[in-house]
Structure 1
């Protein structure tokens, strides 16, 4: 038999999405997937993307093979955008099948040179981090990332760094932490950087939500200061969120390393890509490259991205303020300090199930909801629902910390 009893369990996020689709209630809310939606709950195509597609259509470019490294100008321009010109001079990279493809490619790259290499990973983290790292043959050293109030808690990571072996890796999300929304301060980034340099470990940076926290340059500042002080690093990049290109599957894997090892590293990246998917899809990368090649289009894109960020921040403040006004416990006040698409609620799985059952609000059992899936007209009703289920949690002594 091809299929045995050892089948994999369904992905919990997509399982909830399917359940939402089968729910007949017109007022139901899908707050599961990390997709930016406008106030009419559409996942809009950005104006800059539309303009870039018109340019590409007029060019009538060939659909020929591009090779395992994908679109070189896309990768070079993304490297400059994220790292800055000086750091980008030390970087090489390849286009990948979105951010998850970059994670897997870089994980296999690290495992290729040191099978079983240990990666320090803060918990909770993006639901796919641990499965991808393990599937690539890496060993995970899990440490807590946040304290009971929902703030970043770096002591466990620092302790792990101090006991790490040179060549181990530490995975850090660049900003807008998924799922907690916890944001590292400048001092925290600098303190972590000191320990990483001292330990000689490899920083593994995951950049998926740049521009959706405090602004594009602000969101990248901590990572750039870290990379300026280390001899080598790996960076996985997604264009799904910042360019709203979810189904185009656009990303890249970047390496910061000594130039003497660049050729061998590039051959290795291309070899891993060749055996996984041969080469990445071209269209989405061509869209991003076209935007970043054109000063006017890039200016338009930056403005749209900032408006997305502002709307999400406004929704966060409105929901938290509304829930507190409706009687939610004071633990909700800490949610104002979170950043990015997600709000990590201090609710039990029982409360999250009640939200789904009674109010048609679909979020993860961990308490994570996607703010951008909330239309403005639903803020008051959702705030009241959150306060109601939170009060029940508090009465049962089941209210959890301000993060999942």
Structure 2
């Protein structure tokens, strides 16, 4: 059997990372992989994370399994951070998962196993490539809806709503809660209201991937769209990640959170537990326990939020600097959108050939669709990137 296997196509982002590592130039810049870095190029361990790990080290007496759903304190803490106080906890059910990717996968498993057999999953064009990879692997019906206007570098709201007007009852609409990956262009509060109205009218269920809460406009502002849908609609699926906002990428701390009628939430929880049992049994605990420790302690939580805010503001400052540099170098407002986008990513609108030329001529590595990781820059490399863009892009 193994001798007949065919090698899968390489992951483009991972392949780009390997190319960067093999490039001997000292002045190369990695804007591909989606991790936060300090100006020194380090992805730090947050202060509160270190303190929480020390506390766990001192106090933990066992490494036995947690429950199938994971640590209840983790689910409560993260659900509260995402949904705020407007949702009755009795309407929710949740399971810890191996990272946000695990939450996405388990959400699709829930739809496939317990939803309508013919339900279509609608995804934005563009979206995080792994959404498509997972859906294709699971052989689930998918359709795309317009999202990003390449000409304006803004959300194509009218195109989005026109496409979603075709969703059928029971379909799943995958939305990015904030800091859209790969474009950085977000829905406004008014846009979220229109989306909620449309989904309610069509009887579709939103699935929200919220991987960057706190990286855009703040913890509460970044969750506003998710909270609106949870308040307005009878059912919502939420795939959350702690990789970015807690900086615990390798600990793989994710959560699949559902909102439904309170009379059904208990059954939903049992189904979610069974999904964990069938896929990987008991979920990882170390990362979720770090998060639960931080969210459950007022001092640790305050310190974590302060450092997260520093991280958010540093990315906004880099966006503003890059937009200003490009305005000066191109003598145009063409790239002003970079300052308006939020989160780690923006998509420049450069062609694949222009992206390749910037890599070859300047040692600047970004994904082929011109998605760049703002957090891979610092004050010294922003002018280098601006010069490369100005000299390369038509």
Instruction: Give the match's secondary structure for 1:331.
Output: coil
The size of the alignment, in residue pairs, is 391
Instruction: Give the match's secondary structure for 2:214.
Output: coil
**Counterpart-to-counterpart distance in 2, 1:329 and 1:361:** 22
1:97 paired with 2:101, answer no
**Counterpart-to-counterpart distance in 2, 1:272 and 1:3:** 32
- Alignment gaps of 5+ in structure 1: 395-404
State the 1:264 CA deviation.
2.5
2:383 aligns with one of 374, 380, 384: 380
Match of 1:313 in 2: 316
Match of 1:163 in 2: 166
**Counterpart-to-counterpart distance in 1, 2:164 and 2:366:** 34
**Counterpart-to-counterpart distance in 2, 1:328 and 1:139:** 46
Q: 1:166-192: per-residue Cα shift (whole Å, max 9, x none)?
A: 111111100110001111111111111
Q: What does residue range 30-109 of structure 1 map to in structure 2 within 5 Å?
A: 30-89=30-89, 90-109=91-110
With the length of structure 2 as denominator, give the TM-score of the two structures. Answer: 0.96
Contact 1:329–1:387 (CA under 8 A) maintained in structure 2: no
Superposed CA RMSD: 1.4
Match of 1:222 in 2: 225
Match of 2:130 in 1: 128
Q: 1:27-84: per-residue Cα shift (whole Å, max 9, x none)?
A: 1111111101001000000001011111111103310011321111101110011101
Q: 1:169-222: per-residue Cα shift (whole Å, max 9, x none)?
A: 111100110001111111111111111111111010110011111111111112
Contact 2:185–2:346 (CA under 8 A) maintained in structure 1: no
* Worse-superposed segment, 83-92 or 166-175: 83-92
Match of 1:354 in 2: 357
Match of 2:121 in 1: 119
1:327 aligns with one of 307, 314, 330: 330
**Counterpart-to-counterpart distance in 2, 1:186 and 1:300:** 29
2:288 aligns with one of 285, 288, 291: 285
1:200 paired with 2:207, answer no
Instruction: Give the match's secondary structure for 2:268.
Output: helix
Match of 2:267 in 1: 264
**Counterpart-to-counterpart distance in 2, 1:160 and 1:167:** 16
- Alignment gaps of 5+ in structure 2: none
Match of 1:402 in 2: none
Contact 1:79–1:88 (CA under 8 A) maintained in structure 2: no
1:341 paired with 2:344, answer yes
State the 1:309 CA deviation.
0.6
Match of 2:144 in 1: 142
With the length of structure 1 as denominator, give the TM-score of the two structures. Answer: 0.93
Contact 1:72–1:95 (CA under 8 A) maintained in structure 2: no
**Counterpart-to-counterpart distance in 2, 1:49 and 1:262:** 32
